[in-house]
Amino acid sequence: MDKLLYVPNPLLRQKADKIQSVGIKEKEIAKKMMQIMIKAPGVGLAANQIGILKQIVTIFFVDQETNKETQYTLFNPNIVSYSQEKIIMEEGCLSLPEQFADIERPQNIVVEYLDENNKQITKEVSGVESRILQHEIDHLSGKLFVDYLSSLKRNIMIKKVQKFLKKKNNER
């Protein structure tokens, strides 16, 4: 569980299971995920991406305007409502290195999750945070951002990832 998985790894297409409660094991996984995500570097990570089929998401980003850091873990996250307003933003994914695309999604969401202390949290999020969480929560049901594109574009990106990884391995 200490390596990032890339497309087309089948674990990225599987559904992650709900956790019963947040214990030592779950906290360890979250800690590991934070390390891998920050090192990558990435702004979000779902447990599927390191081969663990549990509903855990980590997030870390810095607000460009205020310089404020946001970093936390969500266990069993669930989006309970979406705003009518949609917005287009560019997305990338640690499991699809060097691939980016403009994706349209709802602007704001309300998300429910368990925090590290098993406390049920309900939170309304917007902006980058909303975008990251929608992307990561998709991962937990085996969905990738390229699924919002045409199959032609999707396949090109997946092929480009293979090329990129091949090149990277050859350089080692």
Residues binding Zn ion (CB under 5 A): 93
Buried b (16+ CB within 10 A) or exposed e, 132-142: bbbbbbbbbeb
Burial class (CB in 10 A: 0-12, 13-18, 19+), 107: middle
Structure tokens that stand for 52 in this block:
């663990």
- The least distance separating Zn ion from the CB of residue 16, rounded to whole angstroms, comes to 13
Closest CB to Zn ion among residues 19, 93: 93
Tell the smallest beta-carbon distance from residue 5 to Zn ion (Å): 11
136 noted as active-site residue: yes
For the chain, the farthest-separated pair of C-alpha atoms sits apart, in whole angstroms, at: 48
Q: Which of 26, 91, 129, 136 is catalytic?
A: 136
Spatial CA neighbour of 109 closest among 77, 92, 90, 134? 134
Choose among 96, 106, 117: nearest CA to 49.
96
Residue nearest to Zn ion (CB): 93
In the bound state with Zn ion, the residue whose beta carbon lies nearer, of 24 and 127, is 127
Judged by CB, which is closer to Zn ion: 19, or 57? 57
Residue appearing with tokens 């979000």: 44
Q: Which is nearer to Zn ion, 26 or 136 (CB)?
A: 136
Question: Among all chains, which residue has been given the structure tokens 């979406």?
Answer: 82
> 76, 18 in Cβ contact below 8 A?
yes
Q: How far is the CB of 62 from Zn ion (least distance, A)?
A: 18
Shortest Cβ 139–Zn ion spacing (Å): 6
Residues annotated as part of the active site: 136
